[in-house]
Structure 1
Amino acid sequence: MPSMLVESDKITGLLQKIAETASQTDDDKTFPKESFNWLANAGLLGITLTEPLGTDQLLQMLKQIGAANLAVGRVYEGHINALNLIDLYATSEQKGVWKADVIEHSRLFSVWNTQAADGVKIHVIGNGRYRLEGCKTFCSGANWIQRPLVTGELMGADRRGWQMCIIPTERVKAIPQDDQFWQPLGMRASVSYKLDFTGVELDESDLLGQPGDYYKQPYFSGGAIRFAAVQLGGAEALVEAVRAYLDSLKRTDDAFQRMRLAEMTWLVESGNHWLNAAGTKTDQWLNDRKETDKIVTYANMARTAIEEICLRVMPLAERSVGARGLMRPLPFERIHRDLTFYLRQPAPDATVLDIGRYVAESQVSVHELWR
Structure 2
Amino acid sequence: MPAERLLPNTEAEDLLKLTREIARDELAPLASQYEEEERFPREQFKLLGRSGLLGLPYAEKWGGAALSYEVYLQVLEEIAAAWMSVGVGLSVHTMSCFALAEYGSDEQRERFLPDMLGGDLLGAYALSETHAGSDAAALSTKAVRDGDQYVVNGTKAWITHAGHADFYTTMVRTSDDGGKGISCLLVDADTPGLSAAAPERKMGLTGSTTAQMIFDGARVDADRLLGAEGQGFKIALVALNSGRLGIAACAVGLAQAALDEAVAYARQRVQFGKAIMDFQGVEFLLADMAAAVESARATYLEAARRRDRGLPFLRQASIAKLVATDAAMKVTTDAVQVLGGAGYTRDFPVERYMREAKVPQIFEGTNQIQRMVIARQLRVS
Identify the TM-score tier after normalising by the shorter chain: 0.7 to 0.9
Q: Which residue of 2 aligns with 1:24?
A: 33
What whole-Å deviation, never above 9, does each CA across 1:193-249 have from its counterpart, x for those lacking one?
112121221112212112343433872452222211111111111112212333453
SS at match of 1:245: helix
Shift of 1:88: 0.9
Q: Which residue of 2 aligns with 1:367?
A: none
Q: Which residue of 1 aligns with 2:69?
A: 55
Amino acid aligned to 2:314: V
> CA–CA distance in 1 between the matches of 2:119 and 2:317?
33
Cα distance change of structure 1 residues 5 and 80 upon mapping to structure 2, 3 Å threshold: farther
> CA–CA distance in 2 between the matches of 1:247 and 1:42?
36
Q: Which residue of 1 aligns with 2:54?
A: 45
Shift of 1:185: 0.9
Q: Which residue of 2 aligns with 1:161?
A: 181
Q: Which residue of 1 aligns with 2:20?
A: 12
Structure 1 counterpart of 2:141, from 96, 120, 125: 120
SS at match of 1:26: helix
1:336 aligns with 2:354: yes
Contact 1:78 1:111 in 2 (8 A): yes
5+ long unaligned stretches in structure 1: 363-371
> CA–CA distance in 2 between the matches of 1:189 and 1:353?
31
Structure 2 counterpart of 1:216, from 216, 231, 234: 234
Structure 1 counterpart of 2:300, from 261, 271, 275: 275
Shift of 1:39: 0.7
Cα distance change of structure 1 residues 74 and 154 upon mapping to structure 2, 3 Å threshold: same
Q: Which residue of 2 aligns with 1:311?
A: 329
Contact 1:135 1:197 in 2 (8 A): yes
Contact 2:326 2:361 in 1 (8 A): no
SS at match of 1:149: strand
Q: Which residue of 2 aligns with 1:107?
A: 121
Q: Which residue of 2 aligns with 1:69?
A: 83
Shift of 1:32: 1.1
Cα distance change of structure 1 residues 150 and 32 upon mapping to structure 2, 3 Å threshold: same
Structure 1 counterpart of 2:203, from 185, 188, 213: 185
Shift of 1:340: 1.6
Amino acid aligned to 1:213: Q
Q: Which residue of 2 aligns with 1:368?
A: none
Cα distance change of structure 1 residues 105 and 283 upon mapping to structure 2, 3 Å threshold: closer
Structure 2 counterpart of 1:239, from 256, 259, 262: 259
Shift of 1:325: 2.0
What whole-Å deviation, never above 9, does each CA across 1:54-82 have from its counterpart, x for those lacking one?
12112212212211211112221111012
% identity of equivalent residues? 22
Q: Which residue of 1 aligns with 2:3?
A: none
Contact 1:245 1:325 in 2 (8 A): no
Cα distance change of structure 1 residues 192 and 334 upon mapping to structure 2, 3 Å threshold: same
Shift of 1:119: 4.3
Amino acid aligned to 2:360: Y
TM-score of the two chains, using structure 1 as the length reference: 0.86
Stretch moving more, 74-83 or 347-356:
347-356
Structure 1 counterpart of 2:219, from 201, 217, 223: 201
> CA–CA distance in 2 between the matches of 1:248 and 1:106?
43
How many equivalent residue pairs?
349
Cα distance change of structure 1 residues 29 and 314 upon mapping to structure 2, 3 Å threshold: closer
What whole-Å deviation, never above 9, does each CA across 1:159-184 have from its counterpart, x for those lacking one?
x72111111223x226332225x011
